[in-house]
Amino acid sequence: MRPLPLPVALGARLAPVVVLACAGWAVSTGPLAAAPADHQAAQQSDPRSAESSSPGAPSPSASASATSATYGSAPAACTSIATATIKSLVPGAKTAGKEIPSTDTAKRRTCSWNALKGYDYRWLDVSFELSDTVKQAQQAYTEHTTAKGNGAAVSGVGDQAYSATALTTDDKQQTRETVLTARVGNALVVVTYNGSDFESKKAPAEKVTQSGALKAAAQAVTALKSGTKA
């Protein structure tokens, strides 16, 4: 996470295979042996015959459906969240947000909002990460959510979603952060929302960061679905 010109209390938080079945032909002995042998040779010389005779071979259409991409490019992250939502979740932040530089904006785009209003600090990140195939996105989702430790599945957001919340304390200052990861086809939507109160040294309640992350994630998923399809 990018360093911020904020108290070091936020350091903990601020510190993604047709096995061709061998079409064996049982060649019997006797006067008819030559005919089956010839038939066997013909089958082996034509891969299509072996493929069609293999009951375990997946159809090309099934394979394509399982691996093709759903979305062709990532939407603009900074316009994926409603202005009213930004004002509510990150009071005092510039609603335009700050887009984080990316080496390939078609594959990854991230926007960040953060502000300190009075003694109350809030940070929101929304990121879109596209894989070449759905299978790759599923693998990335598993790796990402496993790395976040204890959490819970969330329904109603994309094809899969997982939310994990953590409370950290640094020099008596608490920070609570919720990371919600959703997979939609070949894309991941990752929302990070956290906060601290520098006066009380306490963190916002768990339901505050969880509900905030969920609201932002739902809007980001909607923005993704409205974008460019592959």
The pTM of the full predicted model, rounded to 2 decimals, is 0.72
Asked if 190 and 129 touch (Cβ cutoff 8 Å), the reply is yes
Interval 14-43: pLDDT, tens:
343 333 333 343 334 443 344 444 444 444
Q: How confident is the model at residue 67 (pLDDT cuts 50, 70, 90)?
A: low
Is residue 85 scored above 50 in pLDDT? Answer: yes
* Domain limits, the chain: 8-14+68-225, 19-57
Is residue 5 scored above 90 in pLDDT? Answer: no
- Enter the CATH code of domain 8-14+68-225: 3.40.1000
For residue 68, what pLDDT is reported?
79
Is residue 227 scored above 50 in pLDDT? Answer: yes
For residue 21, what pLDDT is reported?
35
Residues in the chain: 230
For residue 3, what pLDDT is reported?
41
Strand partners, 193: 124, 178
For residue 192, what pLDDT is reported?
98
Mean pLDDT over the full length of the chain: 80
SS3 per-residue string spanning the chain: CCCCCCCHHHHHHHCCCCCCCCCCCCCCCCCCCHHHHHHHHHHHHCHHHHHHCCCCCCCHHHHHHHHCCCECCCCCHHHCCCHHHHHHHCCCCCCCCEEECCCCCCCEEEEEEEEEECCEEEEEEEEEEECCCHHHHHHHHHHHHHHCCCCEECCCCCCEEEEEEEEEEECCEEEEEEEEEEEECCEEEEEEEEEEECCCCCCCCHHHHHHHHHHHHHHHHHHHHCCCEC
For residue 53, what pLDDT is reported?
40
